[in-house]
Each structure stands twice: as structure tokens, then as C-alpha cells.
């Protein structure tokens, strides 16, 4: 599916440009990471896509590394990060934080990915996850958007939503949301404990978890 994610990366930033829930979630998660870390701490963005989380975390003085299997995203990320003053660097070490926003559902081997994340984190590190637990329906989503952001907000978001619609359709056909119980069980099996849990993003269809390494 790398070809698919590469095509997605080409339209992604246009698609989310006026999509307010995306930017709301981004600033909430970045604020959360910044509040729990110090300047210079290392953050890994797992499934970084076009690097929007990386860019903001870098601008908030965190060191960032992005992981994504798709090469088109790589080019977009580098252009974006270079413009923000990001130096090309090599990092060999463990992370203080791993952020995984809307990317875990795309992993074939969830348990293995979470175990690797556990190993790549410092002992006092933590992980922030936002992942769909269900796919909201199109009408439900449009009504929710209109109620929350008004007709003006919906009209502004519409061109991007239309551009992303074929991609989101493929995502829904190919991938399954991860039921919360399954995600929590996989996190526990990988050695994490959940320290915060919320619902959010579009129609509250995402579970947002903060997990620490379980010392027991
Ligand atoms: C919906 S995008 C989210 C991008 C970014 N996290 C954001 O919120 O802006 C999903 C991303 O997951 C990436 N992805 C797909 N399979 C993956 C895998 N096995 N491991 C890590 N990332 C993956 C895709 O390439 C894509 O960039």
C-alpha cells in the first residue's frame, strides 16, 4: 500500500488545509507533548505523513524524527522541515515520546510495532496515540461538522474533503478501525499502562491514549 500512501501524501495537505478538527487535534496533542517534556527532548512521530506534527513540535523546541513508509511524504516533510530551519541530522538513541496519530490502524503487525515502540522509548518515556475505533458515516460527519463549525466552516472544508474523499473511501475499504479493547490489550501486552484516555477527533470516533512504560 506504499503507492497509495504516496498518492495520499500529494493531496493530504490540501485536504486538511481548512479541516479544523485536524488542526484542533494537532494543537491539543502538541500542547500535551510540550507540557510533559522539556526543550531538546526527542520525539518520534510514527506514521508522520506530511510532517505537520513534526513541524510544530520542532517549532516548540523538541527534537523530532519522523517514520513513514511512503516516499512522497518524505519529500514533502523535508521541504517543510527545511523551511522551518530543521537541520539534517543523525540520531541514534531512544525517544522521550512516540506520537502515533491515525497511523496504527494502517500497521499489519500492531503488536510488533507496539513492542518496538516500547523498546525505542526511554524508561520514563510515553506514547500518545490517536486512532479510529470506528469509521463515522459521511452524513454523520457532515452534520457533526456543521453543528460544530457552522455552515461557513463546512463550506471552507468542503474542497479538501472532496479531494480526500476517494482516498478515505479506499482507507475504509482496506483498513479496519482498531476496537479500543484490542488496542488497549495490545498496549498492555507490549508493556504499557494507560495513564489517560479520551475520545476525540471527528465525531468522537478516535480514542486518544497516553501510555507510559509499565514498570511492573
Ligand atoms: C492518515 S495519515 C496520518 C499522517 C499524520 N500522522 C497526520 O496525522 O498528519 C496515515 C499515515 O500512516 C502511514 N503509514 C501507513 N502504514 C504505516 C506503517 N506500517 N507504519 C507507519 N506508518 C504507516 C502512511 O504512510 C500515512 O502517512
DSSP string, 129-153: EEEESSPPPHHHHHHHHHHHHHHHH
- Ligand 1 centroid to residue 106 C-alpha, Å: 7
With respect to CATH, is domain 2-213 assigned 3.40.50.920? no
Whether this model's pTM surpasses 0.85: yes
pLDDT, residue 14, reads 95
Q: Tell me how far the alpha carbon of residue 216 lies from the centroid of ligand 1, in angstroms.
A: 31
Residue 72 has pLDDT above 80, yes or no: no
> What is the mean predicted confidence (pLDDT) over 105-117?
97
Q: What is the mean pLDDT of the chain?
A: 95
CB of 77 closer than 6 angstroms to any ligand 1 atom: no
Q: What angle do CA 61, 65, 66 make, to 5 degrees?
A: 125
pLDDT at 88 over 90: no
Residue 75 pLDDT > 90, yes or no? no
- Mean pLDDT of all residues in 96-112: 97
Q: What is the pLDDT of residue 216?
A: 76
Is the pLDDT confidence value at 205 over 80?
Answer: yes
Query: What is the pLDDT averaged over residues 61-75?
Result: 89
The SS3 call for residue 45 is strand
Does any ligand 1 atom lie closer than 6 A to the CB of residue 107? yes
Ligand 1 pocket test: which of 2, 6, 33, 49 has the largest number of ligand atoms within 8 Å of its C-beta? 49
Q: Where are the domains positioned within the chain?
A: 2-213
- Residue 48 CA to residue 149 CA, distance in Å, equals 26
What are the tens digits of pLDDT across the range 128-182?
Answer: 999 999 999 999 999 999 999 999 999 999 999 999 999 999 999 999 999 999 9
Cα 103 to ligand 1 centroid, rounded to whole Å:
4
The arithmetic mean of pLDDT across residues 27-42, rounded, is 97
Q: Is the pLDDT of residue 71 over 90?
A: no
Do 33 and 97 contact (CB within 8 A), yes or no?
yes
CA distance 34 to 26: 12
Amino acid at each position: 500500500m506504499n503507492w497509495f500512501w504516496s498518492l495520499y501524501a500529494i493531496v493530504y495537505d490540501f485536504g486538511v488545509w481548512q479541516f479544523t478538527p485536524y488542526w484542533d487535534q494537532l494543537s491539543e496533542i502538541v500542547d500535551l507533548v510540550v507540557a510533559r517534556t522539556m526543550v531538546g527532548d526527542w520525539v518520534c512521530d510514527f506514521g508522520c505523513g506530511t510532517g505537520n506534527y513534526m513541524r510544530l513540535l520542532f517549532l516548540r523546541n523538541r527534537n523530532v524524527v519522523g517514520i513513514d513508509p511512503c516516499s512522497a511524504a518524505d519529500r514533502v516533510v523535508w521541504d517543510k522541515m527545511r523551511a522551518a530551519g530543521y537541520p539534517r541530522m543523525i540520531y541514534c538513541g531512544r525517544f522521550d515520546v512516540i506520537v502515533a496519530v491515525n497511523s496504527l490502524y494502517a500497521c499489519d503487525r500492531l503488536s510488533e510495532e507496539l513492542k518496538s515502540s516500547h523498546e525505542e522509548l526511554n524508561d520514563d518515556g510515553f506514547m500518545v496515540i490517536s486512532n479510529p475505533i470506528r469509521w463515522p458515516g459521511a452524513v454523520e460527519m457532515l452534520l457533526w461538522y456543521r453543528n460544530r463549525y457552522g455552515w461557513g466552516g463546512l463550506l471552507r472544508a468542503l474542497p479538501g474533503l472532496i479531494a480526500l474523499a476517494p482516498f478515505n473511501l479506499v482507507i475504509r475499504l482496506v483498513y479496519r478501525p482498531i476496537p479500543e479493547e484490542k488496542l488497549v490489550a495490545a498496549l498492555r501486552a507490549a508493556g504499557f499502562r494507560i495513564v489517560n484516555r479520551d475520545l476525540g477527533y471527528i465525531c468522537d470516533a478516535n480514542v486518544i491514549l497516553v501510555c507510559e512504560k509499565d514498570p511492573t
